Structure formats: C-alpha cells, structure tokens
C-alpha cells in the first residue's frame, strides 16, 4: 500500500519528452547541388535518392527538411553543416525550427 508521500514523489518524477527541432537547409545562389547532396549523405545519413529529393526541395522551395532531432543533436548538425561548408568554400546555411 503506497502512502500519500510516495504518491506525491511518483507524480514529481514524471518525465516529459524533449522538444523536437526540424533542421532545415537554406537555398543560396552559390552552393552546388552536388555539395548539398554530399552534406545530406554525410551529415544526415541520407541515401543518395533521399538526398536528391531533399536537395531539389531546397532548390525549388528555398529550404528543405533534413530531419527532426532533439535540440542538442539539431545544434550539432547545424554546426557540422557550417564547418563543412566553410571548409569547402560554400555559403550553405542550416537552421532549426521547433516542431
């Protein structure tokens, strides 16, 4: 038999799911389509076919979704995109939006 104190403790321990964030690649006039596909395959682990579909979405709609992640993972992916783009001389940018 649980006491009132145990019941209150159980209620306080209920965990909430972490917020989720959609990571988006943003279109620009300088980054090659091949580089966007490379980023999607290497950083977001997309197949070539998936990467092509997302790259075309970025090209046609000015942004494309790369996936939904927790805040920390989304932030890391954005930093990886920025670092790789900078190293390769591309202005490609990524951002995130709360789902």
Tell me: the pLDDT tens digits for 35-94?
A: 999 999 999 999 999 999 999 999 999 999 999 999 999 999 999 999 999 999 999 999
Number of domains, the chain: 1
Residue 13 falls inside a structural domain: no
Domain with 72 in it: what CATH number?
A: 3.30.1390.10
Question: How far is residue 27's CA from residue 92's CA, in Å, rounded to a whole number?
Answer: 7
Predicted pLDDT of residue 15: 83
**Domain, as residue range, for 44:** 30-91
Residue 48 falls inside a structural domain: yes
22 contacts 64 by C-beta, under 8 angstroms: no
Name the pTM for this structure.
0.85
Residue 78 falls inside a structural domain: yes
Predicted pLDDT of residue 41: 98
Residue 2 falls inside a structural domain: no
Predicted pLDDT of residue 9: 59
- List of E strands, 1-99: 20-26, 63-70, 93-98
Residue 76 falls inside a structural domain: yes
């Amino acid at each position: 038999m649980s006491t009132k104190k145990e019941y209150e403790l159980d209620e306080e321990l209920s965990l909430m799911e972490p917020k989720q964030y959609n990571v988006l690649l943003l279109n620009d006039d300088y980054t090659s389509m091949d580089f966007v596909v490379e980023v999607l395959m290497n950083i977001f682990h997309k197949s070539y076919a998936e990467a092509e579909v997302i790259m075309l979405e970025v090209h046609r709609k000015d942004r494309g979704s790369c996936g939904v992640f927790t805040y920390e993972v989304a932030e890391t992916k954005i930093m990886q995109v920025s670092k790789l783009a900078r190293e390769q001389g591309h202005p490609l940018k990524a951002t995130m939006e709360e789902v």
